[in-house]
């Protein structure tokens, strides 16, 4: 399950990087990795281990830690603490407990407070580019959000197109990832070759495309130096003559904060540009601000691809700080998710299925109803009795690769054969290692909890335990 | 479970009215009642029944409907759609499914869009007082939210005091409700007497207290008529001479929207006034706006009493439309919930326990681990066999009040006694009513799903079925 959750995090990071959400992916991944490390009781290899971490060394706490870690990642990347909690709730956790909600909220509250404190410390620019953006990345409070009933049809059209484009994006991603999988299977050399060629290709695009963009004259009312070379700013000189700047280069070679802040105002980018485009098309029938169409466009495309509703809504709200947009954002997300759901699954499910992770769906597939336990276990079945010789157990563990063994009490110990349950290989190994043997083959009514604690049977990190070694 | 959920809704409405949240309580209650009515398949008594409603006539859909209904109520009352979803998630639903999240989001999105459309239609004041408030009830966007690290200690103190006061509030409420329960048990006359005396007492306070308040001169820069009689407005004349207004009367006899909008700016009210008071006390060490202290004060008191985190946070954000407040609100909620949890449970749990509703806690009480099934069922046990005579079943149903009967197959039908499961009285009655009898006492391998659908066994509304009637 932890492995699984880590992989969801992996897919999220893949998605967010591919959707140009920028630093969110790596940040979510990093936070979740730190959480998983704590859930393993630290790392002995890198001498990062503390004694108190052993309290988290069980499946449930490890899962909770990874969930909270990803919430912290989203909270830090988007500076959207409530969005982080909701993201963890909507995408990460299969089963939600009220304790988990409280823990995730605690985590992101700490993130918000630390972030705000650091922004406070760094406000004079002592920390490089950090802290200049403030808590709200892309503030549209000043934009006058006046919309009326007649704007609704164009917003619905935006949602439908966004849903279709989002599902098309998922479809293409599926195909591309399958090609990647085929290449990766051929060996390490091919893997490295693939990574290198993608990186070279992207670099060529990033550096080559701006050469095709025309140079624009610097605006007279620019509040920052224009054009600039070798420093952050919204007016990159690139190949342009003095007094002019390159539009596309400014977008590509900018910090994420600045790019987000300017993207809807001036420069076109992936999903927002689509919204702006639709906005221009339908602008005859509606008098909504084009910038608002850009925000709604990104919402619809993200909704069509990720299929999140509440969390996406809150993240966009926390990015833009304008609650008056809420009804329109909700409408566009509803429409785009509904439309996209008619075509294919959400992007995380697609990636997890492609990677072959053992993901347990909320609903069983219809064919599974016909399955018996015998259809899915590896035979021949090895059964242990209520009282068993140590030698037999060791022999069975050595000769089979089974992970669990049914325990059955037979006459004369009981009147009729009774299935006690299943004992796991890992638990047997723990019992053997602690030499919890009895000399006489007698059934005893001993309370096992006196000699063992749940901690003794907790998984020790992610070390593989499939082979039995004494 | 539906009954239970309705009761949670009831407690919420009790809480919100007692906490002066005003119209939220009745609105949540109304929405949940409508949802419950739909879940029962409409009401035959009031001729409100449609055929398609029978699709919701099962426990799960009914529960989901009530949850979505309460979300819609919060969304409409506070004009906080996302807050509504989170409220339903945090307080209403014991088990959360992703489908439920999506349904609740859908419900509140419709609420938000309809609300926005109605505000759009009513903006010229054609609909009485509705629509004048806009989507954001208490806008503090214009307030300059400048806070620094040195403000944190005073906010933490505010949270601690809020937590203590919140738990004291819960404690007093518990005592008062117990007295009410004792009075109500004495009969209907006492119930009516209690309701009348409370209503007279409240009316006396509402009408009497403003007489004690001094008259204030109308501000020269007032944007509305001052003083007013017999119409809505923030400057009520009451007993004052012309040119003056009564402060307290303006608060009491105002619409909720206007009261919320002005409460932090001018007039003191329940929880916000406490925040303002603390703000004034600690203002020497901090330069936070007193209005912000008022908001934080209400957050801390609500957090200390209701113990909600994420939903309260979002509802306050949606009321105030200022995301810059987020870190401080999160901090104050964290502190107040933690402090209050040390003293007693949240207000909903207290009310439910007092009313004696069968609420299933997430964790079992320690003593329950020792309980056997035999300790909680009514004896003597009535067992049915795999094949049973209709006459026997009817006799047992008539003579006992049991709600469920174990079904056991015994030799010669099976090798050893096997417990098939439990059959409910309601299901037996359904089978008897449809005359699903066999003439020969033979075990048949018939697929029961061919003759019955899950709908046949669904509960029919909230009609009591404890007594067997043919």
User: pLDDT tens digits for A210-267?
Assistant: 888 778 888 777 677 777 777 666 777 777 888 888 877 777 776 655 665 555 454 4
Cβ–Cβ below 8 Å for B116 and A81: no
Q: Round the average pLDDT of chain B to a whole number and report it.
A: 76
CATH match of A379-457 with 3.10.580: yes
pLDDT, mean of residues A316-328 = 78
Q: What is the pLDDT of residue A166?
A: 92
Q: Is residue B20's pLDDT more than 60?
A: no
- When CB atoms are compared, the residue of A90, A324, A327 closest to B113 is A327
Q: What is the pLDDT of residue B172?
A: 93
Residues of chain A positioned with their CB less than 8 A from the CB of B86: 86, 310
pLDDT, mean of residues B412-426 = 81
Instruction: Return the top range by mean pLDDT from A48-62, A164-178, B6-20, B449-463.
Output: A164-178
> Between B342 and B288, where is the model more confident?
B342
Q: What is the pLDDT of residue B463?
A: 44
- Residue reference for tokens 């997430």: B362
Q: Which residues, numbered 435 to 464 in chain A, qualify as contacts with chain B under a Cβ-Cβ cut-off of 8 Å?
A: none
- When CB atoms are compared, the residue of B109, B152, B337 closest to A331 is B109
> Between B8 and B411, where is the model more confident?
B411
Q: Which residues are within 8 A (CB) of B34 and not within 5 positions of it... i.e. 6 or more apart?
A: B69
Q: Is residue B423's pLDDT more than 70?
A: yes
Are A21 and A307 contacting, i.e. CB atoms less than 8 angstroms apart? Answer: no
Can you give chain B as a three-state secondary structure string? CHHHHHHHHHHHHHHHHHCCCCCHHHHHHHHHHHHHHHHCCCECCCCECCHHHHHHCCHHHHHHHHHHHHHHHHHHHHCCHHHHHHHHHHHHCCCCCHHHHHHHHHHHHHHHHHHHHHHHHCCCCCCCCCCCCCCCCCCCCCCCCCCCHHHHHHHHHHHHHHHHHHHHHHHHHHHHHHHHHHHHCCCHHHHHHHHHHHHHHHHHHHHHHHHHCCEEECCCCCCCCCCECCCCCCCECCCCCCCEEEHHHHHHCCCHHHHHHHHCCCCCCHHHHHHHHHHHHHCCCCCCCHHHHHHHHHHHHHHHHHCCCHHHHHHHHHHHCCHHHHHHHHHHHHHHHHHHHCCCCCHHHHHHHHHCCCCCCCCCCHHHHHCCHHHHCCCCCCCEECCCCHHHHHHHHHHCCCCEEEEEECCCCCCCCEEEEEEEHHHHHHHHHCCCCCCCCCCCCCCHHHCCCHHHHCCCCCCCCCCCCC
Cβ–Cβ below 8 Å for B135 and A97: no
Q: Is A143 helix (H, G, I), strand (E, B) or coil?
A: coil
Residue B466 phi, psi dihedral angles, 5° rounding: -75, -25
Q: What is the pLDDT of residue A109?
A: 87
Q: Is residue B13's pLDDT more than 50?
A: no
pLDDT, mean of residues B442-454 = 65
- When CB atoms are compared, the residue of A105, A324, A330 closest to B309 is A105
Q: What is the pLDDT of residue A421?
A: 85
Tokens standing for B375?
């300790």
Strand locations in A35-159 (E): none
A71-75, B19-23, B464-468: lowest mean pLDDT where? B464-468
Cβ–Cβ contact A419 with B under 8 A: no
CATH match of B149-353 with 1.10.3080.10: yes
Can you give A157-211 as a three-state secondary structure string? HHHHHHHHHHHHHHHHHHHHHHHHHHHHCCCHHHHHHHHHHHHHHHHHHHHHHHH
Q: Which residues, numbered 344 to 403 in chain A, qualify as contacts with chain B under a Cβ-Cβ cut-off of 8 Å?
A: 362
- Tell which phi-psi region holds residue B305, choosing left (phi > 0), alpha (psi between -120 and 50) or beta: alpha
pLDDT tens for each residue of A167-187: 999 999 999 989 988 998 898
Cβ–Cβ contact A341 with B under 8 A: no
Cβ–Cβ below 8 Å for B105 and A334: yes
Q: What is the pLDDT of residue B192?
A: 92
Nearest CA in chain B to A322: B321
Residues of chain A positioned with their CB less than 8 A from the CB of B81: 326-327, 330
Are B108 and B71 contacting, i.e. CB atoms less than 8 angstroms apart? Answer: yes
pLDDT, mean of residues B146-162 = 83
Alpha carbon of B346: minimum distance to chain A alpha carbons (Å): 13
Cβ–Cβ below 8 Å for B323 and A120: no
Q: Are β-strands A384-385 and A404-409 bridged in parallel, bridged antiparallel, or unpaired?
A: parallel
Alpha carbon of A356: minimum distance to chain B alpha carbons (Å): 22
Cβ–Cβ below 8 Å for A81 and B330: yes
Are A315 and A80 contacting, i.e. CB atoms less than 8 angstroms apart? Answer: yes
Residues of chain B with pLDDT > 70: what percent? 72
Distances (CA, A) of B308 to B66, B299, B348: 19, 10, 11
Q: Is residue B10's pLDDT more than 70?
A: no
Q: What is the pLDDT of residue A20?
A: 40
Q: What is the pLDDT of residue B395?
A: 92
- When CB atoms are compared, the residue of A106, A327, A362 closest to B116 is A327
Are A136 and B323 contacting, i.e. CB atoms less than 8 angstroms apart? Answer: yes
- When CB atoms are compared, the residue of A148, A313, A416 closest to B120 is A148
Q: Please name the CATH architecture into which domain B373-457 falls.
A: Roll (3.10)
Cβ–Cβ contact B141 with A under 8 A: yes
Can you give the residue ranges of every domain in chain A? 2-135, 149-353, 379-457
Q: What is the pLDDT of residue B214?
A: 80
Q: Cβ-count burial of B443 within 10 angstroms (0-12 exposed, 13-18 middle, 19+ buried)?
A: exposed
Q: Round the average pLDDT of chain A to a whole number and report it.
A: 76
Nearest CA in chain A to B134: A324
pLDDT-based confidence at residue B343 (cuts at 50, 70, 90): very high
Cβ–Cβ contact A429 with B under 8 A: no
Q: Is residue B81's pLDDT more than 70?
A: yes
Are B344 and B350 contacting, i.e. CB atoms less than 8 angstroms apart? Answer: yes
pLDDT-based confidence at residue B464 (cuts at 50, 70, 90): very low
Q: What is the pLDDT of residue A7?
A: 44
Taking one residue from A and the other from B, the number of pairs with CB-CB distance under 8 angstroms is 120
Alpha carbon of A334: minimum distance to chain B alpha carbons (Å): 7
Nearest CA in chain B to A120: B148
Are B23 and B359 contacting, i.e. CB atoms less than 8 angstroms apart? Answer: no
pLDDT, mean of residues A3-17 = 45
- Tell which phi-psi region holds residue A51, choosing left (phi > 0), alpha (psi between -120 and 50) or beta: alpha
Alpha carbon of A340: minimum distance to chain B alpha carbons (Å): 14
Q: What is the pLDDT of residue B60?
A: 79
> What DSSP character marks residue A241?
P
Q: Is residue A11's pLDDT more than 50?
A: no
pLDDT, mean of residues A115-144 = 66
Please state the length of chain A.
470
pLDDT, mean of residues A263-284 = 57
Residues of chain B positioned with their CB less than 8 A from the CB of A303: none
Cβ–Cβ below 8 Å for A120 and B149: yes
Cβ–Cβ contact B72 with A under 8 A: no
Residues of chain A with pLDDT > 90: what percent? 10
Question: What sign has the CA pseudo-torsion A212, A215, A221, A227?
Answer: positive
Q: What is the pLDDT of residue B287?
A: 61
Are B386 and B420 contacting, i.e. CB atoms less than 8 angstroms apart? Answer: yes
> What DSSP character marks residue A214?
P
- When CB atoms are compared, the residue of B97, B148, B362 closest to A120 is B148
pLDDT tens for each residue of B236-280: 777 888 888 887 777 777 665 566 555 545 444 465 666 667 666
Radius of gyration of chain A (CA): 28
Q: What is the pLDDT of residue B410?
A: 77
Are B270 and B276 contacting, i.e. CB atoms less than 8 angstroms apart? Answer: no
Q: What is the pLDDT of residue B21?
A: 45
> What DSSP character marks residue A422?
E
Alpha carbon of A319: minimum distance to chain B alpha carbons (Å): 9
Q: What is the pLDDT of residue B175?
A: 93
Task: State the Cα angle at A82 between A110 and B332, rounded to 5°.
Answer: 50
Nearest CA in chain A to B317: A323
Cβ–Cβ contacts within 10 Å for residue A52, how many?
Answer: 8
Cβ–Cβ contact B189 with A under 8 A: no
Examine domains B149-353 and B373-457 and report if their fold is the same: no
């Amino acid at each position: 399950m932890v492995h699984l959750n880590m992989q969801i995090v992996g897919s999220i990071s893949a998605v967010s990087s591919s959707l140009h959400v920028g630093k969110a992916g790596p940040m979510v991944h990093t936070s979740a990795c730190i959480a998983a490390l704590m859930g393993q009781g630290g790392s002995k290899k890198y001498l990062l281990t503390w004694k108190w971490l052993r309290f988290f060394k069980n499946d449930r706490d490890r899962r909770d830690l990874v969930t909270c870690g990803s919430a912290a990642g989203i909270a830090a990347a988007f500076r959207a603490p409530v969005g982080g909690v909701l993201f963890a709730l909507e995408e990460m956790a299969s089963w939600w407990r009220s304790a988990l909600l409280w823990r995730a909220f605690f985590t992101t509250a700490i993130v918000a407070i630390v972030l705000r404190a650091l922004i406070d410390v760094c406000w004079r620019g002592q920390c490089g580019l950090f802290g200049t953006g403030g808590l709200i990345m892309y503030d549209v409070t000043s934009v006058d959000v006046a919309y009326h009933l007649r704007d609704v049809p164009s917003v619905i059209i935006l949602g439908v197109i966004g849903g279709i484009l989002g599902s098309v994006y998922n479809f293409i991603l599926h195909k591309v990832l399958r090609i990647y999988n085929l290449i990766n299977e051929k060996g390490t050399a091919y893997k490295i070759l693939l990574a290198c060629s993608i990186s070279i290709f992207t670099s060529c695009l990033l550096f080559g495309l701006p050469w095709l963009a025309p140079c624009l004259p610097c605006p007279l009312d620019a509040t920052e130096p224009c054009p600039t070379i070798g420093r952050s700013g919204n007016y990159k000189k690139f190949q342009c003559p003095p007094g002019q700047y390159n539009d596309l280069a400014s977008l590509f070679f900018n910090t994420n904060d600045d790019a987000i802040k300017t993207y809807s105002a001036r420069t076109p980018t992936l999903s927002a540009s689509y919204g702006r485009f639709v906005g221009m098309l339908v602008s005859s029938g509606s008098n909504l601000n084009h910038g608002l169409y850009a925000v709604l466009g990104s919402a619809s495309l993200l909704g069509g691809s990720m299929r999140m509703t509440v969390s996406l809504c809150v993240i966009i709200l926390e990015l833009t700080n304008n609650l008056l947009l809420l009804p329109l954002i909700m409408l566009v997300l509803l429409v785009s998710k509904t439309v996209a759901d008619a075509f294919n699954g959400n992007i995380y499910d697609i990636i997890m299925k492609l990677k072959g992770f053992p993901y347990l769906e909320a609903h069983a597939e219809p064919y599974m109803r016909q399955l018996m336990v015998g259809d899915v276990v590896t035979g021949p079945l090895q059964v242990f009795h209520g009282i068993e010789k140590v030698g037999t157990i060791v022999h069975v563990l050595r000769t089979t690769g089974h992970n669990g063994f049914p325990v059955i009490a037979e006459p004369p110990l009981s009147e009729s054969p009774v299935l006690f349950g299943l004992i796991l290989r890992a638990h047997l190994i723990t019992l053997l290692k602690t030499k919890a043997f009895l000399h006489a083959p007698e059934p005893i009514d001993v309370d096992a909890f006196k000699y063992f604690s749940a901690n003794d049977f907790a998984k020790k990190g992610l070390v593989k335990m499939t082979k039995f070694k004494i």
